Amino acid sequence: MKLLTYESAGALHSGVVVGNSAIDLGTTPLEAILACPDELARARALADAPSEGLPLDGLNVRAPIVRPGKVLALGLNYRDHAAESGSPVPAEPVVFCKVSGSVTGPGAPIRLPEASQKVDYEVELAFVIGRTAKGVPAGRALDYVAGYTVLNDVSARDYQREKPGGQWTLAKSFDTFCPMGPWLVTPDEIGDPQDLALKCVVSGQTMQASSTAQMIFSVADIIEYLSRVLTLEPGDVVATGTPPGVGFARTPPRYLHAGDVVECTVEKIGTLVNPVV
């Protein structure tokens, strides 16, 4: 089942995607639907016996979770990306935050800030928590995942790599630096999250192409690690890291410029497209 958030007449609506249409679920936020078995059952019933929907082409689709309580992300979670970054392979997950205000949706522009001249792309598989998770062992961790989406961890490399101490959170949290979408896909349609192809294309050129099979720490490992420290709540978003091929590691470096179009694809989910302005 694919679930999305869209804006209509100034209000945010949730919807279930059926073919090229969306069936309205009302104004209940998607994170509340994910946390309520009855609401999820209603959405699935509509998906299984679809009525007339709204054409996707005409919808103002937003990020599936417009303002997550938390956006947590992993750095250096692909062995080859750690190597191209000049960093050792981490012995345990490297975790940072992106502020929720950086979240934007499919089709929305990535805005280049005056404060950074080295803005980079990063395709990632992200997952959304469906129920409260604290101290969850890896063997049960996937039961807490409500669904998966595509996330572009846009990064200001000059902040991340050149500022005193390395400003990871600031580098990742400029406005519009967290495109996400186009929708949320439930786990039954994904199967094994560690066997998904992912790709990033910038203005027609493939920059990243890999598989989540190459992740150092799996989705289940990540949930176990995070939930030892903090409580994960419905609607929280976790990005699982990016494969090699990022702009700063290329010769010469390939940063984003106004006029670029970034297409991030994860198998079984779809493609997140954002122009750069």
Residue 99: predicted pLDDT: 98
Sketch out the chain's domains with CATH numbers: 2-62 (no CATH), 71-275 (3.90.850.10)
Of the pLDDT bands very low, low, confident and very high (cuts 50, 70, 90), residue 79 is confident
Give yes or no for residue 246 having a pLDDT over 80.
Answer: yes
CB atoms within 10 A of CB 48: 10
Give yes or no for residue 29 having a pLDDT over 80.
Answer: yes
Segment 104-117, tens digit of pLDDT: 999 999 999 999 99
The Cα 151–Cα 147 span in angstroms is 13
* Lowest mean pLDDT segment, chosen from 38-42, 60-64, 123-127: 38-42
